[in-house]
């Protein structure tokens, strides 16, 4: 999990309990969004 939702205590465990999907809270979750967005922009730029 990344971004603001990952900062809500216990949300990862609730999602896992209700859906059966294993969840992991990313270390430095806020920065991960920016890094992932940058990588995606590089990826789509290389497709053209």
Q: What is the pLDDT along the chain (48 residues), one digit of tens a residue?
A: 877 778 889 999 999 999 999 998 888 888 888 898 999 999 999 886
Query: Which residues fall within 8 angstroms of residue 29, CB to CB, at 6 or more apart?
Result: 1, 2, 3, 6, 7
pLDDT of 29: 82
Q: State pTM to two decimals.
A: 0.57
Query: Could you identify the residue written with the tokens 């590089």?
Result: 42
């Amino acid at each position: 999990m990344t971004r603001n939702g990952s900062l809500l205590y216990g949300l990862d465990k609730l999602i896992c309990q209700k859906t059966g999907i294993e969840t992991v809270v990313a270390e430095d979750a806020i920065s991960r969004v920016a890094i992932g967005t940058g990588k995606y922009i590089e990826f789509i730029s290389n497709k053209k």
